[in-house]
Chain A
Amino acid sequence: DSGVTQTPKHLITATGQRVTLRCSPRSGDLSVYWYQQSLDQGLQFLIHYYNGEERAKGNILERFSAQQFPDLHSELNLSSLELGDSALYFCASSEWGDQETQYFGPGTRLLVL
């Protein structure tokens, strides 16, 4: 158990819908990262937040957005969903003193029908 929690574990929805994925980092970690794991694209970095502020963006679609709240939990919002958005979404956190070492949550499996 990494100490990073993600909810829900599974999500099934329809095309065109909007969903919110939630992540709670390890206690004391200020950084939260979001990654997408899909069969065709592999594991890709989406976005990084540090203490409530966006730090870096990767291959994140404009239909996707994220935020980190004052209690440091983060949410990833996916809208106008398409079949190709079906994937595993991972959240990871890292501590201030060693930001390179990331601890991953169990993931949210999203299925868009």
Chain B
Amino acid sequence: GNSVTQMEGPVTLSEEAFLTINCTYTATGYPSLFWYVQYPGEGLQLLLKATKADDKGSNKGFEATYRKETTSFHLEKGSVQVSDSAVYFCALSDRETGANNLFFGTGTRLTVIP
């Protein structure tokens, strides 16, 4: 089946620290991979995506590389800001079924302190 495993949170970092949030997946087919971010009191926003092996998605200083050999899609940012405090969700879309619905990880709460 399809599933996504994210590192347990919460994660607390000082401003300008390096961020890594681990994400691994299991999929029946060849999925597309996504990171979504949820700011307090808001809906989910697409942060970045990658659709095939070795693709790198990037946005707002965040990056993630689709690693088929390790079934991973870890999120990284070189220097976090207080405004990055949010919950981050890793997700996959199973293109095999054609349903296109997303399977989400449990989310990782990030708090950045000044």
Name the segment of B16-24, B66-74, B92-100 touching the other chain: B92-100
Closest to B91 in A: A43
Q: Is A58's beta carbon under 8 Å from chain B?
A: yes
Closest to B97 in A: A56
Q: Is B82's beta carbon under 8 Å from chain A?
A: no
Q: Is B40's beta carbon under 8 Å from chain A?
A: no
Q: Enumerate chain B residues within 8 angstroms of A56, measured Cβ to Cβ.
A: 97, 99-101
Do residues A99 and B100 form an inter-chain contact, with CB atoms below 8 A?
A: yes
A30 to chain B, nearest CB (A): 12
Do residues A94 and B107 form an inter-chain contact, with CB atoms below 8 A?
A: no
From known contacts A42-B107, A43-B89, A100-B93, infer whether A48 and B100 are also in contact, taking CB-CB under 8 Å: yes
Do residues A100 and B42 form an inter-chain contact, with CB atoms below 8 A?
A: no
A-B contact number at CB 8 A: 55
Q: Is B102's beta carbon under 8 Å from chain A?
A: yes
From known contacts A43-B104, A45-B103, A56-B101, infer whether A103 and B95 are also in contact, taking CB-CB under 8 Å: no
Closest to B89 in A: A43
Q: Is B113's beta carbon under 8 Å from chain A?
A: no
Q: Enumerate chain A residues within 8 angstroms of B45, measured Cβ to Cβ.
A: 2, 104
Restricting to B6-57, which residues have a CB under 8 Å from any CB of A? 32, 34, 36, 42-46, 49, 51
Q: How far is it, in angstroms, between the C-alpha of A4 and the C-alpha of B43 when the chains are bound?
A: 10
Q: Is B81's beta carbon under 8 Å from chain A?
A: no
A–B pairs, 9, beta carbons within 8 Å: A45-B101, A48-B100, A55-B99, A100-B32, A102-B102, A103-B46, A104-B36, A106-B43, A107-B43
Top-7 shortest CB links A-B: A56-B99, A43-B104, A45-B101, A104-B44, A104-B43, A100-B93, A106-B43
Interface residues of A (CB under 8 A from B): 2, 4, 31, 33, 35, 42-45, 48, 55-56, 58, 90, 92, 94, 99-107
